[in-house]
Structure 1
Amino acid sequence: MVETQECFPFHCFLKYLFTLVGLLLFLLDIALDILTVVSFYQDGSNVYMAVMIFLLLGSSVLLQVFSWLWYSDSLEKIESKVEKFTARHSLIKPLHFLQLRVYLRYAGVIETSTMDFLHCINNFRKGVWHSAREDVAVKLKHDLQMLRLFEAFSENTPQLTLILSRILQRGELELITGLKSLTSAAGIAFSVALYHRSMLIYLPEKCK
């Protein structure tokens, strides 16, 4: 119990911070994907542009399939309000068809994480050392991190290889390709780290 008390406030803040940083890296990666494709087009690197688009579309379709299968098996267990709204209005399948599955899952995770964080702080002030809402966000975060892990090795890793090969071929480092290579490497590392943290919830001694 002492160990739980010592790590409780920091544990809540760290989980919430990782969720927000993961969202920012995800949005930054999308912006740099678009800029990289545009950069390849402007340079006349049609082969690199085609491979880049193929990786983006292939990875996205793969993740939509897994996400939809997971939703199909647990529609009755949806906890977040945003996901309940989309399920009630039969929007989950159209959103997956439009390749928007990560946005839906991130909306659910941000909602539950924010409520969990506020509930955690409120409990800490009252001297309660367990957040009952923590279990609500566990499955949402775990599914999202699993999808992000798939994305890291089906999209970010091939992209990093592609961009590094182009840099070596041209013998120069451009701003966009340099930023994209850094964000791809950071995305891979962060996805693995966050998935590892999401697995810690199943351990009896989480602080250690």
Structure 2
Amino acid sequence: MAASFPCTSCCSSDCILNILALVFFLSDVVSDVLAVVSFYQEQAYISMGALVFLLVGSSVLVQAFSWLWYNYRSEEERNCLDRYAYLEKYFKNRCFLGALHVCQMGVFLRLVCMMEISWRNLTSSSPLTEGIAVYLTHDLNLLYLIEAFAESAPQLTFMTAVIAHRQDVEWVTGFKTVVSLSAIALSVVLYHRSMCSLHECKTQITWTLSLLYFLWNFLLIAPRVVAVALAASVLPPGAIAIHFLFLWLALFLWVWRQKTHFMDSPTGEWLYRATVALVWYFSWFNVTKGGSRGRSIIYHAVIAADITLLLTLWWWQSHRDPSLFGMTAWGVVILEAVSYTMGVLAKVAYDKLFRPMESVTVDRMPRFEEEVSKVDDVDFSVSVLPPPLPPLTASQRRMQMLAEHFYS
């Protein structure tokens, strides 16, 4: 059974990215603690409470996805991991695994397991054959993406709002802002490389292409974050919360209307739809096959209108001539418009010039060749049909579905 779900080797660049992910994970934890302590010392209890709420809420969301995906794991995946990952024996203990997720350490355990397999592939004289680590990496990268837009993007917005309100950059808020921005950048690049790795044209997985993908995402995400932050710096906390809830609800209904089928349980699917709506508040990614161009145009038009609304509220609610570190309001508006327009144009150029057109593939080792190799004499006069390939596992199905949507 395990032979039909092979294990993959990881190249040195992916191992380096995993190490960087661990560094940013630990840096993010340190910056979170420092930011909370800083707000406490300043007696800024509302800011401290908002930051703690973002930290706890996003962490619970990511751990919930991690826990559900562990439960969806097939016996083939467990058997394969058991051969190559020392930590896998702890994954089989549901009480221990559940306790780790309750303690918000599930993703950290996934990362350590992935680094273990990566290190063994780099140091072993006979690297592991291709298969399971691709799926482990994909799940981990998708968790990074969820964490980026459920934690890092809101925190970046929050810290930018604090900086805009104070018109001053303290070292703690500056450090937290840099870490959050770096986490978003790394997660976007990792997700792009993960999607490209499923493509038949695998030679297109280059750092240049990943950086271009990040560039147009940055040009679109930055004005969105700045617009929300500027509005939050002058509006009451309740007003920006109501704005978020109304827009999130509209996006959630749009996801529901698209009838996604990503998770393996109804509860998980509703959680996924709610999370997609949260991601869409900051950035777009396609979740259903076909018609992506029309949906993308509608989305960017709505977000552009919302950015305009938020900037207008910032201008109107400012009791003095609004500015951002000496830049006039007109300068901010023009910079926002130029950035968002360049982001849309860069996205169009990426789709036209660099997006691969070949079909998505999910590797499954065929059993037919193995069965034929066991027979000494085969009568080729008789038509022999290979048995059907085994069904996709939960990880494989998630990978194939996201990759198809990514390239549709």
Normalised to the residue count of structure 2, the TM-score between the two structures is: 0.44
Partner of 1:128: none
Give secondary structure in 2 for the equivalent of 1:94: helix
**Contact kept in structure 1, 2:90 and 2:97, CA below 8 Å:** no
- What one-letter code is carried by the residue in structure 2 that aligns with 1:82? L
Verify: 1:202 aligned to 2:201, yes or no.
Answer: no
- For 2:55 and 2:36, the matched residues in 1 are separated by 10
Deviation at 1:111, TM superposition (A): 0.8
**Contact kept in structure 2, 1:40 and 1:46, CA below 8 Å:** yes
- What one-letter code is carried by the residue in structure 1 that aligns with 2:112? A
Partner of 2:96: 91
Verify: 1:135 aligned to 2:169, yes or no.
Answer: no
- For 2:201 and 2:120, the matched residues in 1 are separated by 24
Partner of 1:20: 19
Deviation at 1:89, TM superposition (A): 6.9
Give secondary structure in 1 for the equivalent of 2:139: helix
Deviation at 1:133, TM superposition (A): 3.5
Superposition pairs of residues 1-208 of structure 1, within 5 angstroms: 12-74=11-73, 76=75, 77-78=77-78, 79=81, 80-88=85-93, 90-119=95-124, 122=125, 131-208=127-204
Moved more, 75-84 or 158-167: 75-84
Deviation at 1:117, TM superposition (A): 2.1
Identical aligned pairs, as a percentage?
40
Deviation at 1:75, TM superposition (A): 5.8
Deviation at 1:88, TM superposition (A): 3.9
Q: Please, which runs of 5 or more residues in structure 1 have no aligned partner?
A: 1-10, 124-130
> Closer, same or farther in 2 for the Cα pair 1:75/1:47, shift >3 Å?
farther
- Give aligned pairs, total: 189
**Contact kept in structure 2, 1:112 and 1:136, CA below 8 Å:** no
Deviation at 1:207, TM superposition (A): 2.6
**Contact kept in structure 2, 1:156 and 1:185, CA below 8 Å:** yes
- For 1:110 and 1:177, the matched residues in 2 are separated by 31
**Contact kept in structure 1, 2:24 and 2:183, CA below 8 Å:** yes
- For 1:56 and 1:145, the matched residues in 2 are separated by 19
Deviation at 1:154, TM superposition (A): 0.6
- For 1:198 and 1:12, the matched residues in 2 are separated by 13
- For 2:120 and 2:196, the matched residues in 1 are separated by 20
> Closer, same or farther in 2 for the Cα pair 1:115/1:133, shift >3 Å?
farther
Give secondary structure in 2 for the equivalent of 1:207: helix
Greater share of residues in helix: 1
Cα distance per residue 1:43-85 (max 9 Å; x no partner): 1111111110000100111111111110001163231320322
Higher relative contact order at CA 8 Å, sep ≥6: structure 1 or structure 2? 1
- For 1:102 and 1:88, the matched residues in 2 are separated by 16
Q: Please, which runs of 5 or more residues in structure 2 have no aligned partner?
A: 1-9, 205-408
Moved more, 191-200 or 49-58: 191-200
> Closer, same or farther in 2 for the Cα pair 1:84/1:132, shift >3 Å?
same
Deviation at 1:19, TM superposition (A): 0.9
Partner of 1:7: none
- What one-letter code is carried by the residue in structure 1 that aligns with 2:193? R
Indicate the RMSD between aligned Cα atoms, in angstroms: 1.7
- What one-letter code is carried by the residue in structure 2 that aligns with 1:146? L
Deviation at 1:86, TM superposition (A): 3.4
Deviation at 1:13, TM superposition (A): 1.6
- For 1:161 and 1:112, the matched residues in 2 are separated by 36
Cα distance per residue 1:82-127 (max 9 Å; x no partner): 03223247411111111111111111111111112224xx35xxxx
Deviation at 1:203, TM superposition (A): 1.3
Cα distance per residue 1:139-189 (max 9 Å; x no partner): 111111111100100110010011011111111110111011011011001
- What one-letter code is carried by the residue in structure 2 that aligns with 1:100? M
> Closer, same or farther in 2 for the Cα pair 1:116/1:199, shift >3 Å?
farther
User: Structure 1 residue runs of 4+, over 6 Å off?
Assistant: none
**Contact kept in structure 2, 1:83 and 1:104, CA below 8 Å:** no
- For 1:134 and 1:36, the matched residues in 2 are separated by 42
- For 1:181 and 1:114, the matched residues in 2 are separated by 31
